[in-house]
Chain A
């Protein structure tokens, strides 16, 4: 068996450094397996998050050789030879080692005005598969926050975090906007308070999404178009809605939230 060199960022909010660890390689492992073996044998206090080990929970995000990846879905044998560098997501404050403080995302989640359907008819809502599929694409999101991590609007400009929902929540707004049953109108809100205008469609978010959600093409761009419509010509937009149901205004919708 050959040896692996794992170059892992160790430290906390006060700073840290890359440290090399050597461990024997085993067949067919993913990066998270190696981290677990290091914990069990050499670095018991190495901090990292994980849950499902199958790409379903979005806990184990990190930067592997500089690329945002899920550690549980990155096979060691598909990485280039030589040391493997593992660093925490850069956009969020460090807690310790590979664990970052992702509370920014949970704060942004609180600011989304809730889903607001009409009363349910006897026996449940009727919707066509083709209509639910648009929203389902966005609901595949496992909240790994890697798209948030790569988005330069907050990665390079800490100050933007106060008024920028980020790609993960742009798809949430888009999902609600396209939901066949929703009656809230959040378009002004997402444009004015959630920083949709700051996104300049670099598509970095789409590239890293482990669920292959087309964040820019299917969510952000349509959302931008609709938000512009709402701003200049709300009547035209309303006419376009297939259902023709009246949406509540941005202010009414935002009033649901503190």
Chain B
């Protein structure tokens, strides 16, 4: 029997990115006893890597902007699959959340009259992204981190949660995990748990995500009995680095295009003009001259096609490369050097300048970058109630990238950072309200805890078995080739079969060497069940959605299908699920938008 330490809180928040930190601040302000748990050191979550900005219709640069326009852009960007209520709350509340960050010490870049300035991004009608150069995520996470620290919120860093626990009534009761620096186990009892675990990108070969993006929260929620939706909707960001190979996938911010950068193929052609879908024709420039006027004055011309939503741009790049018009290393050219002064580029995009200089030896003020699509963000996630972020499990809430619905089938740039602060706050409120209405003590089931601990230790006891790194590599290859940016029925069928084989191998994983102290091989072995679970969900969702929409493109069903546009793909397991348990796929109707909001879309036509 392994020993473990135990802690008791009102609320535990799993994840210390923007969503988790904002939730913790809210819950603490409500007088609750709060802890944050995260796999890395505090301040290192994905949120720190966000570059371009946080979207909020503040109207500081274009007075015409307001929440209705932002709402409409978000819904159209998501191809109307979004949970309309989430998109509405997000558009309405994000300006206040951004201003709140300055009350806590953030320093955004300014307009001439001293307000927060805003930059252009794809799919946003007006310049809407508040930013700090190209390190907005750092500003956001550091501000929230410093606020949380000043409030004396307990932080368990480098601590991985393995599983959620429920009581015999089915309500959430806590979680089991381990400390990475010692390998010792730890349990939490909690009246409420907020999931803020971020994304899943690490299961793909070329990705902008770090080792943390293993979908733990998605998987733990489904194992515990919550529903996931639309896990096939995965965003491949159009511009990742493609070369050198060792940095392939690392992100190049959309801010490069927002600030005037254009995409060219090997024939030096600005090819995006050939890829303007009907839905966006009315508001997209049809010539280079018109597009170039727009940068200075959005009323003088229509938007450049380089700033179409990400799914459109990523597919276009993919097509160009397939047609043999790619760059030497299999991408296309992103050129800002010939369009903006070196001084402008270094001031607006300092970390991109640095990143290319150091990693590729390329000076982006003189030379075009080579870029191509990279797995970036999952729109799908845990099904939640928009107002409270409540899941189907009493006491379990979810916010940030782990939650589904807000972004429909495709997310607009900048809408994630705003999502984190809007719904992080709402999760804190939701959990606090739930706790007010509940009674009774919490006891954890010791046998259940022990079983979870034992399961995580099995890899040490095997005589022989599979290297966890090999399984991870094969999974990444499989997802990249079969559940990548363009999908087709036969490849998805194959993926589903091969995922079962990989699970068999994961059931036989071995960790050599005896130590649990900061042992990355063991850490990876404990990440594999979640990675394989979310990968299975993505493949099953993709199989079932026989249409193309946003971040889900089927070669065999290249068009959107109105019938599929009205359903979420709901994925679930019976209570007591796990990596090896079957996953049920069930299309269910999306939330119906009220008539007063539908009008916004009719007027626009």
Contacts and interface: CB of A to CB of B under 8 A. Distances in A.
B44 A45 contact: no
Nearest to A135: B107
A56 B351 contact: yes
A153 interface: no
A51 interface: yes
B250 A45 contact: no
A47 B518 contact: yes
Interface in B115-153: 115-116, 132-133, 135, 138-139, 142, 146-147, 149-150, 152
B41 A102 contact: yes
Interface string B465-497: 001111001000000000000000000000000
A56 B49 contact: yes
A59 B103 contact: no
A41 B108 CA distance: 44
B26 to A, nearest CB: 17
B49 A57 contact: yes
Contact of B517 (A52, A96, A142): A96
B110 A129 contact: yes
B107 A132 contact: yes
Interface residues of B, number: 67
Contact of A55 (B115, B147, B355, B468): B355
B582 interface: no
Contact of A128 (B114, B210, B244): B114
B109 A132 contact: yes
A155 interface: no
Interface stretch (B261-269, B305-313, B508-516): B508-516
A29 B521 CA distance: 22
Contact of B513 (A44, A126, A139): A44
Interface in A80-113: 95-97, 99, 101-102, 106, 109-110, 112
B509 to A, nearest CB: 11
Nearest to A182: B105
Contacts, number: 169
B252 to A, nearest CB: 10
Interface stretch (A117-125, A195-203, A233-241, A242-250): A117-125
Contacts of A22: none
A94 to B, nearest CB: 10
Contact of A12 (B58, B114, B358, B517): B517
Contact of A27 (B45, B115, B245): B245
Contacts of B355: 54-55
A141 B145 CA distance: 13
A57 B44 contact: yes
A106 B139 CA distance: 18
Nearest to A103: B157
Interface string B517-534: 111111000000000000
B113 interface: yes
Contacts of A97: 518
B328 to A, nearest CB: 14
B150 A114 contact: yes
Nearest to A142: B138
Given A51-B212, A75-B359, A115-B104, A95 B518 contact: yes
Contacts of A73: 358-359
A27 B245 CA distance: 8
B460 to A, nearest CB: 11
B211 interface: yes
Contacts of B242: none
B354 interface: yes
Contacts of B133: 136
A28 B114 contact: no
Contact of B102 (A53, A114, A125, A141): A125
A30 B247 CA distance: 9
Interface in A27-76: 27-30, 33, 39-41, 44-59, 73, 75
Contact of A45 (B109, B135, B473, B513): B513
A143 interface: yes
14 contacts: A28-B245, A28-B246, A30-B246, A39-B520, A40-B470, A49-B41, A52-B49, A53-B247, A54-B250, A56-B138, A102-B41, A120-B99, A120-B102, A142-B48
Interface of A: 12, 26-30, 33, 39-41, 44-59, 73, 75, 95-97, 99, 101-102, 106, 109-110, 112, 114-115, 117, 120, 123-129, 132, 135-136, 139-143, 176, 179, 256-258
